[in-house]
Amino acid sequence: MDEAAISSERRGPLIARLRLRDFFGGDRGNGDRLRDDGQSRRIVLAGESVDYRLVRARRRTIGMQIGLSGLTVRAPRWVSIREIEAALAERDAWVIRSLAEWRTRRREVLPRAWKTGASILYLGRELTLAVHPARKREIAADLLNLSVLHPAAADERQVAAFVGRWLREEALRLLAPYVAEFAPRVTTDAPTLKLSNARSEWGSCNQHGTIRLNWRLVQLPPHLARYIVAHEVAHLVELNHSPRFWKLVEMLFPGHVEARRTLDDWTALLEA
């Protein structure tokens, strides 16, 4: 099942959307078996109830990964649930601590209070907001801080609106070159690029050659944003998630499977 197939059934405009379930393995039809969405399970660790996703994978060891979407355990098929739970119990302190850290990070995608000291995510890094009164409006990001100069520095709504506009401009500055780089490799028609504010998807592409990219991509590590652009550009040619489509994605973005996996950790950004 994939979105493009659903849309064509509705006889609406053909549109391929990169939805959350793309990353959670919801689109397994058409030979897209890159991901196994696994099984939801629950365990009590150190007195705390912990939900996790168990994915049976071709590997030799039990792997644990914690991201914004929670705890994922990958294990070979021959390992029993009892062994998996024992492995989790062995690392219970790490699991509980990491989950707490990710919950905090999830909250700090955009600041609640738009003032100095608040956290904001930019290019995959958690920066600290530093707001200063000034006659001119200006924003500068370094490795640690996002410095904002604004005449009404104490007015959080104005600061939020100013930073919000800046993030969208930065998104375009980041994403447009990726589109310009990838598109000529698959088509002679230049696509139209638009920014979106969707809550459920990173990007989409329709049969008119319009690519919509979520401005929040500027908050992801840039290589993940780049993967999403490659994904949408590939839809200019293949408006589906067929094996031909994934081959095209891999041509544009070698190693895309790993990027899709890492992206899991960031999907909650959209809902934050």
Closest separation in Å from C-beta 67 to Zn ion: 20
Q: In the window 8-47, what residues touch Zn ion (CB under 5 A)?
A: 16, 18
Instruction: At 13, list the tokens.
Output: 């405009």
Site string for Zn ion, 134-163 (x = CB under 5 A): ------------------------------
Closest separation in Å from C-beta 167 to Zn ion: 24
Pairing of strands 63-67, 119-122: unpaired
Q: Smaller CB distance to Zn ion: residue 16 or 84?
A: 16
Q: Smaller CB distance to Zn ion: residue 67 or 203?
A: 203
Q: Can you tell me whether residue 11 is helix, strand or coil?
A: coil
Q: Can you tell me whether residue 163 is helix, strand or coil?
A: helix
* CA atoms of 205 and 105, how far apart (whole Å): 30
Q: Smaller CB distance to Zn ion: residue 7 or 54?
A: 7
CA distances from 207 to 13, 58, 125, 196 (A): 7, 37, 35, 17
For 198, phi then psi, to 5°, come to: -65, 150
Q: Smaller CB distance to Zn ion: residue 16 or 129?
A: 16
C-beta of residue 111 within 8 angstroms of C-beta of residue 128: no
Query: According to the binding rule CB under 5 A, does residue 127 interact with Zn ion?
Result: no
Closest separation in Å from C-beta 249 to Zn ion: 9
Q: Can you tell me whether residue 94 is helix, strand or coil?
A: helix
Closest separation in Å from C-beta 265 to Zn ion: 19
Q: Smaller CB distance to Zn ion: residue 27 or 265?
A: 27
Closest separation in Å from C-beta 253 to Zn ion: 13
Q: Smaller CB distance to Zn ion: residue 105 or 256?
A: 256
Closest separation in Å from C-beta 197 to Zn ion: 19
Under the rule (CB under 5 A), what is the footprint of Zn ion?
Answer: 16, 18
